[in-house]
Amino acid sequence: MSRWLFALALAAGLLPISHADAQPFPNKTITITVTSAAGGLTDVLTRAVAQRLSQMWNQTVVIENRGGAGHTLAAAAIAKSPADGYALLATETGMFTMQPHLYAKGKLPFATEDFVPIAGFASIPMALLVHPSVPANSVKELIALAKEKPGIMSYGTAGLGTSPHMGAALLESLAGIKLTAIHYRGANPALNDVIAGHINMITMGPSIALPTVRAGKIKMLGFGSLTRVPQFAEVPTIAETIPGYQAGVSFGLFAPAAVPREIVLKVNADVQKVLADPAFREKILDPQVVEPVPNSPEAYAGYIQSESDKWSKVIRGANLRIE
């Protein structure tokens, strides 16, 4: 049994449940802490879902952005919060699928066992985005440029060990190139610096970058999926140039591990209602070019575990470590 499924089983069988005469959840303000700066896709999806949940529950849902330190500041804070469902964490799942394999044991200020997965929002393949001043119009040309000038090309990340960091690190490893990482408190400020020309490139879920791509203010050289994205059939996959390259990012909702099972099921069911609403899909999900992720708590836990297993092999094979 994976550690995520074990956490769900623990919540179901061993943790106290609410008394029959207690007020139903939720009966007060819920705070969702987002692990990135405002404006990023984690933030956009979380705010959209939270607005619908607030209406459904007739309760205030507060969004608190706490970026920095590769998502660990927010994670450490929520891990220590009361496990009553009123303090939740919205994050890229790379926090659980990548970071634990990059750091030595005990170096992260949280453990995956501190959390239980509640519901996934969506997933998206990462895209390789570069400033128009970069003299490369394909992945092949970018690799040639990076080999010609090792370490000169700079890329932005959302912090150490985050998905934008790992997407570029995997590119370095498989292509045999050297780039320079510039770390930010979220993907959005990193993207802004690419658009402004302060750094050269970024690998990230491209949703928030699409308006600038379409306006010609930034170039999209490739996707991290194994097959081309239907909405952008003209954009090749990175794997067409670098065989084996695959990198994506997903987003979801988590709670402290000791949260009662009934709350996990309640929040999961309500999030699924939001995501299944055709109007929500048309207004929020479709424009972001995102795909659904497994929906039950157990299915979502299994999805996270499979992603963790995949990235563990990638990270070990590439000998990637964060000291």
The CATH label, of 3.40.190.10, 2.30.38.10, 3.40.50.300, 3.40.50.1970, for the domain at 127-240 is 3.40.190.10
Question: CB-hemisphere CA count at 13 Å for 138?
Answer: 9
312: enclosing H helix or E strand? helix 297-318
Residue 315 pLDDT grade (very low, low, confident, very high; cuts 50, 70, 90): confident
Q: How far apart are CA 311 and CA 259, in angstroms?
A: 27
Higher-pLDDT residue of 187, 276: 276
- pLDDT higher than 60, residue 18: no
Compute the C-alpha angle 30/120/284, nearest 5°: 85
Q: How far apart are CA 237 and CA 126, in angstroms?
A: 10
- pLDDT higher than 80, residue 219: yes
Question: Mean pLDDT over residues 54-69, rounded?
Answer: 91
Q: How far apart are CA 159 and CA 109, in angstroms?
A: 15
> Residue 66 CB: number of other CB atoms within 10 A?
19
**Cis ω before 256 (30° cut-off from 0):** no
Condensed to tens digits (0 to 9), the pLDDT of residues 76-97 reads: 889 889 999 999 999 989 889 9
- Compute the residue count for the chain: 323
Q: Domain coordinates of the chain in residue numbers?
A: 3-124+250-318, 127-240
Bridge partner residues of 255 (DSSP): 116
Dihedral angle of Cα 183, 189, 190, 195, to the nearest 10 degrees: -150
The CATH label, of 3.30.413.10, 3.90.420.10, 3.40.190.150, 3.40.50.720, for the domain at 3-124+250-318 is 3.40.190.150
Q: What is the pTM of this model?
A: 0.80
Q: Which of 16-25, 148-157, 230-239 has the lowest mean pLDDT?
A: 16-25
Q: How far apart are CA 85 and CA 60, in angstroms?
A: 14
Domain 3-124+250-318 and domain 127-240 have a common topology: yes
Condensed to tens digits (0 to 9), the pLDDT of residues 263-313 reads: 999 999 999 999 999 999 999 998 888 888 888 999 999 999 998 998 888
Q: How far apart are CA 150 and CA 153, in angstroms?
A: 7
